[in-house]
Amino acid sequence: MTKRTKAEIFLFVCTFIWGGTFVVVKQGLDNASPFVFIAVRFGIATLLFAPFAIRHLKGITAKSLLHGSILGILLWIGFATQTVGLEYTTASKSGFITGLLVIFTPLFQIIIEKRPPKTGNMIGVVLVVVGLYFLTSPTGSSFNIGDGLTLICAAVFGLYIVYLDVFSKESSFWHLVFMQFVLTALLSAIASPFLEIPRFVPTGNLLLGLAYLSLLATVLTLTLQTRYQKDTTPTRAAVIFSLEPVVAAATAYLALGETIGNIGILGGFLVVTGLLVSELSDYLFTSRPKIAD
């Protein structure tokens, strides 16, 4: 198994875990204000991760501090705009707009890394975007402030994916993950009194949701992403992450009996097709298979 294959398997794991987060966060906001919600989520994640990371933090360098700070700020902006946006838009539209990071990522990859995606990757991106639209069917309301915030989130996450690719090759992933957790929790706690009326009602559903989000959808997934994403390309990673709304739709169908209709099924098929085209681009669009993009 190549390093890229191993990395992309782990990114698939992250995507499947993230698939259920939109509904969990949407429901959690009934009992907690957005910035308090994020602060508690990442505060718990910090406490869970600290015992494993503490012995690695002694050798933290100025470069790691800088890289971790940039990633932490980007991560906070992404989660802040997405979570606040969910107060004003639906989980379906949020999933679709967040999935547009698959467009922003290759653009930032070209600007920052001077490395254009391959033809197959870009064809995959186009198929994914069309598929996301059909899958989520984001119709029925005009573009609102929640949609605008979520679009900012998609752009920031696209930038985050590219900078993670750069920084994870130069700094310890222990340092990067810990800094991201701490900064996201800290910035959310600082912002809360100024940007919202802080609210936290510890219901059973809220605490259960935070347990899922903190342990699986934060500690596990961000650790795996920070450790392994560097072994593939930002664009390929973004295409993999675009499966998130597909997983969310499938989960809602199995757990809640929700249906997505024939157009939704077509959308899911196009997303999976785009993923396969991107993954098999070396074999489909070159005369000689290569191990890495």
pLDDT tens sequence across 24-79: 888 899 999 999 999 999 999 999 999 999 988 888 899 999 999 999 999 999 99
First vs last Cα of the chain: how many Å apart?
A: 16
Per-residue pLDDT band at 209 (split at 50, 70, 90): very high
Q: What pLDDT is stored for residue 57 in this prediction?
A: 87
Among 114-118, 219-223, 266-270, the minimum mean pLDDT is found in 266-270
- The per-residue pLDDT of the chain, averaged, comes to 85
